[in-house]
């Protein structure tokens, strides 16, 4: 039997090595060929669920395959996240990423996964601004007046949150950390009952997302002291930003998409491209106008944003000594 020359052998070896790479590339180029499951670690009707279904419907049309929203609430978002961590890295199981993923990295001491290591960032979707709210009976009409009033009435004010370890909770603790006010934080199970008690005057202040509180602001049931965002909201242009009074303070709800680590870069890139494209569509822009600000980033840029948020909230969780229920 005639053996191949060394040069021919090297070419054959190189070709054999390239076969799996070419196979993966071909598979990624054909992606998707079947329905894609999008796990949302929150219940039906929640803000993450609403955004996922809105984006999922349009993404399905762009990809040519159904996007199936799979609600997996529980464990502070860890149950749904763990399901994606354990899924095959083939692009057919995705995660709806929220602030909980950044907060939980420090809040829970013994997670079975490392979010930054085990979830590949795909694309952000929208940043939902927070607003600092007070009951109208409170004499403070500006952030500086509130800080002065809170310091003069130490431990007498109560600040509601949507639950232990939620972004509204850590937003409140960050405000306390940066201003030195001593306000008792009262965690509720969810946001709606907290807002109800704020309107009734049972608690005096709360950081909440603008979409869920804007009608209460417009009707005068609640007073907005500041937008917790770098710029003013077009929906409430007369409300100043909190950075005018507390430089560097920022808190918002961030929603995006992640995938199991080792998901082919071609698939991550395709999803990122499609998400950014649909966010640029006028119809989606109009639907998001009342929710928040669209965010278009590359996977690498989104990964840095997640890492920055994780580091930021780690400091707050440790400062406030927040423990999960």
Please count the other Cβ atoms lying within 10 Å of the Cβ belonging to residue 256.
24
Query: pLDDT value at position 137?
Result: 95
Q: Judge contact between 290 and 137, C-beta under 8 A.
A: no
Query: pLDDT value at position 9?
Result: 47
Query: pLDDT value at position 82?
Result: 97
Q: How far apart are CA 214 and CA 208, in angstroms?
A: 10
What is the chain's Cα-based Rg? 23
Query: pLDDT value at position 6?
Result: 53
Q: How far apart are CA 53 and CA 38, in angstroms?
A: 9
Fold identical between 32-127+253-320 and 129-244? yes
Long-range contact list for 278-281, CB < 8 A, 24+ apart?
278/55, 278/58, 278/59, 278/62, 279/125, 281/58
Query: pLDDT value at position 24?
Result: 52
Query: pLDDT value at position 1?
Result: 47
Q: How far apart are CA 106 and CA 85, in angstroms?
A: 18
Query: pLDDT value at position 13?
Result: 52
Q: Judge contact between 193 and 161, C-beta under 8 A.
A: no
Which CATH number applies to 32-127+253-320?
3.40.190.150
Query: pLDDT value at position 220?
Result: 96
Q: Judge contact between 81 and 70, C-beta under 8 A.
A: no
Q: How far apart are CA 147 and CA 232, in angstroms?
A: 21
CATH fold for domain 129-244: D-Maltodextrin-Binding Protein; domain 2 (3.40.190)
Query: pLDDT value at position 12?
Result: 53
For tokens 């998707």, name the residue: 32
* Spans of all domains in the chain: 32-127+253-320, 129-244
Query: pLDDT value at position 22?
Result: 46
Mean pLDDT by 10 residues, the chain (325 residues): 52 53 60 97 86 94 96 92 98 97 94 96 93 96 97 90 92 95 90 93 94 92 93 90 94 95 97 95 84 89 96 95 90
φ, ψ of residue 187 in degrees (nearest 5):
-80, 135
């Amino acid at each position: 039997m005639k053996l191949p020359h060394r040069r021919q052998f090297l070419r054959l070896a190189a070709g054999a090595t390239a076969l799996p790479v070419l196979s993966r590339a071909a598979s990624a180029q054909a992606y998707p060929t079947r329905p894609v499951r999008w796990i949302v670690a929150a219940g039906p009707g929640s803000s993450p669920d609403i955004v996922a279904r809105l984006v999922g419907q349009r993404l399905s049309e762009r990809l040519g395959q159904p996007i199936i929203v799979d609600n997996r609430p529980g464990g502070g978002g860890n149950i749904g996240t763990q399901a994606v961590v354990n899924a095959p890295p083939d692009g057919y199981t995705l995660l709806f990423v929220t602030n909980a993923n950044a907060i939980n990295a420090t809040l829970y001491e013994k997670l079975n996964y490392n979010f930054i290591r085990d979830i590949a960032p795909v694309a952000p979707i929208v940043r939902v601004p927070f607003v600092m709210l007070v009951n109208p009976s409170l004499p403070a009409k500006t952030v500086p007046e509130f800080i002065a009033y809170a310091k003069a009435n130490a431990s007498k004010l109560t600040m509601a949150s949507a639950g232990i370890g939620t972004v509204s909770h850590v937003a409140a603790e960050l405000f306390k950390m940066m201003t030195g006010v001593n306000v008792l934080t009262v965690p509720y199970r969810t946001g709606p009952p907290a807002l109800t008690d704020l309107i009734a005057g049972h608690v005096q202040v709360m950081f909440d997302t603008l979409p869920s509180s804007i009608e209460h602001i417009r009707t005068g049931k609640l007073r907005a002291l500041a937008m917790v965002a770098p710029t003013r909201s077009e929906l409430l242009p007369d409300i100043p930003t909190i950075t005018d009074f507390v430089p560097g303070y920022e808190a918002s709800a961030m929603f995006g998409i992640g995938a199991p680590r080792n998901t082919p870069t071609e698939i991550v890139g395709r999803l990122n491209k499609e998400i950014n494209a649909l966010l640029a569509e006028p119809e989606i822009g109009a639907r998001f106008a009342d929710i928040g600000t669209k965010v278009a980033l590359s996977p690498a840029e989104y990964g840095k944003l997640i890492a920055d948020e994780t580091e930021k909230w780690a400091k707050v969780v440790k400062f406030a000594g927040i423990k999960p229920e």
